Structure 1
C-alpha cells in the first residue's frame, strides 16, 4: 500500500490557464474535469471552470488545481492550496483520515463521491486543509 501527496492549488476561474502554464514549464500532460463534466454545476457561468485538474510530468512534477466556486469564500492568496493525499486502499485512507481528523474542522466528511470511492476534506488543528481520497480510474 502507498499514498502520494500533491500540492492542490486553488483559483477562481483561472485554474485551466494555470495548469496549462505549469505544463508548459515542467512538461507532462494536463487533465481537467469541469463542473459541467462532473454534473456539479451550481452557477451556469462557472460550468466550464475546473472542478479537478492536474499536471503530471515524467520528471516527477505533479500539481493539482481547481476553481473555487463563487458560492464559497475565496480570497486570492489567502488559502492558495490544499494538500491532497491519494491512495488506492480505502482502509488505509480511512485510517489516515481518522488520525488527521483529531481536533480538525471537517469540511466534507470522508464518504463516497461521484468522482471517487471515498473523498473528504478537513482543516487540521494547525490550519492546513487536507483532501483525502481513494483513486478512481480517469475516463476523461
Structure 2
C-alpha cells in the first residue's frame, strides 16, 4: 500500500520574509509607472512644440468651441477679429498661423485661447475693459 511520504519542514516557505518580496515588487511597479509618466510628460511637451499648426487646426477644427457658448454676433466678432488682425501683423506670427477671434455673450470677464488658433472674448471682459488699448493688450496676450 502506498503512503504519502513525510515532507520536510518549510519546503514551500521562502528563504526571506514575504513582505520583502512584496515591497520590492511594489517599488518596482511604482518606479516603472513613474518613469513612464515622466517620459510621457517630457515627450508630450516636445511633441506639442513639433506639431505643425496646420495639423492642430485640422485635428480640432471648430469642435474645440463646443463646450463654450460662442455667440453669433457678427458685428462684435468682426470688430474683435479686425483688432486681432492688426495685432497679428505686428507680432510677426507665421503666415500660415490663422487666429480666429470669437465673441461670447457670457457676463463672466474672461478671455482665453484654445487649440487651433481660436481666441474667445466674453461680453463681461468687454464691459470691464476701459479702452481699446486695454482690449488690445488682452488679445495680444491670448494670441501669444
Q: TM-score, normalised by structure 2?
A: 0.27
If you compute each CA radius of gyration, which structure gives the higher value, 1 or 2?
A: 2
Q: Which has the higher helix share?
A: 2
Q: Which has the higher strand share?
A: 1
Relative to the length of structure 1, the TM-score reads 0.27
Q: 1 or 2 for the larger relative contact order (CA 8 Å, sep ≥6)?
A: 1
